[in-house]
Structure 1
Amino acid sequence: MALMFERECKNAGYDVRIVPVPRKLSASCGLACRYPCQAEDEIKKLCLSKDIEVEAFHRLED
């Protein structure tokens, strides 16, 4: 799903990239996608329209 998420978001013109799940969120290894926070609502709509399953959306501060 992370690969599909990245591909569909890039096709729609969003700056998205696959990254390891941040330790702040989970100690287990896995994949996450980093995207611009201001595009979150549009990206959520894209996921619904493309049947992309997302476990959760998080905002992380540096």
Structure 2
Amino acid sequence: MISQEKRLIITFRCTTDAIAMEKSCKATGAPGRLIPVPRSISASCGLSWCAPPTSRTALEKLLQEQDLDPEGIYECII
């Protein structure tokens, strides 16, 4: 059985924003990766950024710096 743990999930309104987040995170070395949006959350584009909850402040700052407007930011067990 796969172990579940608490993760930070950032959803986006469109795929373009999700890809921009991935590009920004790779450029700055920010943690996380693109995943399909968990079933417990709904989002328009179907992609979300998944990272450790401890990175929330840094990722929120990155979103603001890159002028990316997330659909939502959640902490959930996946």
Which category of TM-score, normalised to the shorter sequence, fits these structures?
Answer: 0.7 to 0.9
Unaligned runs of 5+ residues in structure 1 are: none
Aligned pair 1:53/2:57, yes or no? no
Q: Is the Cα contact below 8 Å between 1:20 and 1:29 reproduced in 2?
A: no
Aligned pair 1:35/2:51, yes or no? yes
Higher strand share: 2
Query: Aligned runs of 1:2-41 on 2, under 5 Å?
Result: 2-26=18-42, 30-41=46-57
Q: Is the Cα contact below 8 Å between 1:16 and 1:36 reproduced in 2?
A: yes
> Percent identical across equivalent pairs?
34
State TM-score, norm by structure 2: 0.69
Q: CA RMSD in A?
A: 1.8
Q: What secondary structure sits across from 1:22 in the alignment?
A: coil
State TM-score, norm by structure 1: 0.84
- Give structure 1 regions of 4+ aligned residues with deviation exceeding 6 angstroms: none
Q: Deviation at 1:26?
A: 2.1
Query: How many aligned positions are there?
Result: 62
Please tell me the residue identity of whatever aligns with 1:45.
K
CA distance in 2, matches of 1:13, 1:61: 24
CA distance in 2, matches of 1:4, 1:59: 21
Please tell me the residue identity of whatever aligns with 1:10.
K
